[in-house]
Amino acid sequence: MSATINKQGLLAGKTAIVTGASRGIGEAIAYRYAMEGARVVVSARTVEEGDHALPGSINSVVKRINDAGGEAHAVRCDLSVEEHRVNLINETRDVFGPVDILVNNAAVTYFVPVESFRKKHYDLMLEVQVYAPFHLSQLILPEMKERKSGWILNISSHAALHPNKAAGGRGGTVYGMCKAALERFTTGLASEVYNDGIGVNVISPGLVATPGVLHHKLVTDETPEERITPVEHMAEACLRLVHGDSQEITGKITYAADMLKDYNLQPAALLA
């Protein structure tokens, strides 16, 4: 069955921001939310095709959603810049109204061993992957608390788990640090806003063959097919984590495969 926009879907009338949505998991989440009637702000640094070495752009994602009958708007945002973060929220309000759903998906990553890791790269990774989700949440929480409604979803990784000490590494220590911090932020914030009608969750996708993952050679021809998570599975899991009773679905540290199993989800085909 081909993917379509249902304007009366699960997210009808909701405004969602998805960061890092020019390609990969963020792009898939943007499509899935739009298919359920959300007005989606698609954010990343890559505005047009060709602006980045990897394929994908926020304008391309927005065009696909709008051409299908959905509502989407592109906002260029470098999450390492405070003014960009503030503008992302303000422009979203101007175009679609208050933010109902925030998905913190964007990441910048350097796979370098600790011994050789440069401070400017360390600072950038923590700014984009830890402080930006924190700051964006600060910017939208007052309105969510006033409305007694809202969802924040953070995208993590299995890298947050402690590695096998004998397995060697690929320089992912700082990446794992960032994701572990993001998970602790999620559960802490979920506790703080539990009585405010706001759900806060974090999910790891498993190994999805996104352009970025392929670029870093985290998936190769030798990777067993059963280890790879289809991006549609992640998108479906991320949809389930932003609707329903916020006191029943909050503070979760979960994984795409577990969400599909626990909630008996059938992944939908995405806009193409």
What per-residue confidence (pLDDT) applies to 167?
64
Q: Within a domain: residue 35? A: yes
Q: Within a domain: residue 183? A: yes
| Segment 116-121 long-range contacts (CB within 8 Å, at least 24 positions apart) | 117/171, 117/173, 117/174, 121/174
Q: Within a domain: residue 2? A: no
The verdict on whether 175 is a catalytic residue reads: yes
- Tell me if residue 154 falls in helix, strand or coil: strand
Q: Within a domain: residue 236? A: yes
Q: What is the mean pLDDT of residues 91-95?
A: 98
Phi, psi of 178 (to 5 degrees): -60, -45
Q: Which domain holds residue 22?
A: 15-262
Q: Within a domain: residue 9? A: no
CA dist 28 to 10, 20, 144, 153, 203, Å?
Answer: 16, 11, 25, 14, 15
* CATH number, position 41: 3.40.50.720
CB 40 within 8 Å of CB 30: yes
pLDDT class for 213, splitting at 50, 70, 90?
very low
Q: Which residue did the predictor score with more confidence, 214 or 264?
A: 264
At 272, list the tokens: 């193409």
In the chain, which residue ranges form alpha helices assigned H by DSSP? Answer: 24-35, 58-67, 82-96, 119-126, 132-147, 173-192, 211-215, 231-240, 256-262
Assess whether pLDDT exceeds 70 at residue 34.
yes
Catalytic residue chosen out of the listed positions 31, 131, 175, 255:
175
d(CA 64, CA 68): 6
Q: In 107-118, which positions are buried (b, 16+ CB within 10 angstroms) versus exposed (e)?
A: bbbbebeeeebe
pLDDT class for 2, splitting at 50, 70, 90?
confident
Assess whether pLDDT exceeds 50 at residue 215.
no
- Tell me if residue 41 falls in helix, strand or coil: strand
The tally of domains found in the chain comes to 1
Name the residue among 104, 99, 79 with its Cα closest to residue 149: 99
Q: Within a domain: residue 4? A: no
Q: Within a domain: residue 32? A: yes
Q: Within a domain: residue 269? A: no
Q: What is the reported pTM?
A: 0.92
- Tell me if residue 193 falls in helix, strand or coil: coil
| Mean pLDDT of the chain, nearest integer | 92
